[in-house]
Amino acid sequence: MNEPPSLLRNDYSGANRWLEVKLEGTVSNRAALGATVRVKAGGRIQAQAVLSQSSYFSHDDLRLHFGLGSSAAAETVEVRWPSGRVDVLDNVRAGRVVTIKETIKER
């Protein structure tokens, strides 16, 4: 309040790797709110849900960020959509933003 807006930036140069997941819903909702992502890498499993948080002059990024340590790839990325659909990707390379679109179940 009463200050100009600021933008903070983190230019990490360490050896650890990361993966960001951006979801696009088709059946559930476009922003994939309520979806849960589980990432397995280096013998560990991490889980995050897509939530929408905002306040005056701000909004949280809907992409999910996972730290993979020294792993070059995530063994699996599992997405549980609000519609009940589950998508699984194997061997997802680290150091990038991967966009996953909800698949439509064929009848």
Q: What structural domains does the chain harbor?
A: 17-101 (2.60.40)
pLDDT for the residue numbered 48: 96
**Token pair of 4, please?**
């100009």
CA geometry: angle 92, 94, 99, nearest 5 deg: 60
User: How does residue 105 score in pLDDT terms, banded at 50, 70 and 90?
Assistant: low
* Average pLDDT over every residue of 17-26: 95
Residues 6+ apart with CB under 8 A from 97: 20, 21, 22, 63
% of the chain at pLDDT higher than 70: 93
Written as one string, the DSSP assignment of 63-93 is SEEEEEET-SEEEEEEEE-TTS-EEEEEEEE
pLDDT in tens, 71-96: 999 999 999 999 999 999 999 999 99
**Mean pLDDT across the chain, nearest whole number?**
90
Q: Note the pTM of the prediction, 2 decimals.
A: 0.82
CA geometry: angle 58, 65, 16, nearest 5 deg: 130
% of the chain at pLDDT higher than 90: 65
pLDDT in tens, 9-19: 888 788 899 99
Count other Cβ atoms within 10 Å, centred on residue 21: 24
pLDDT for the residue numbered 107: 47
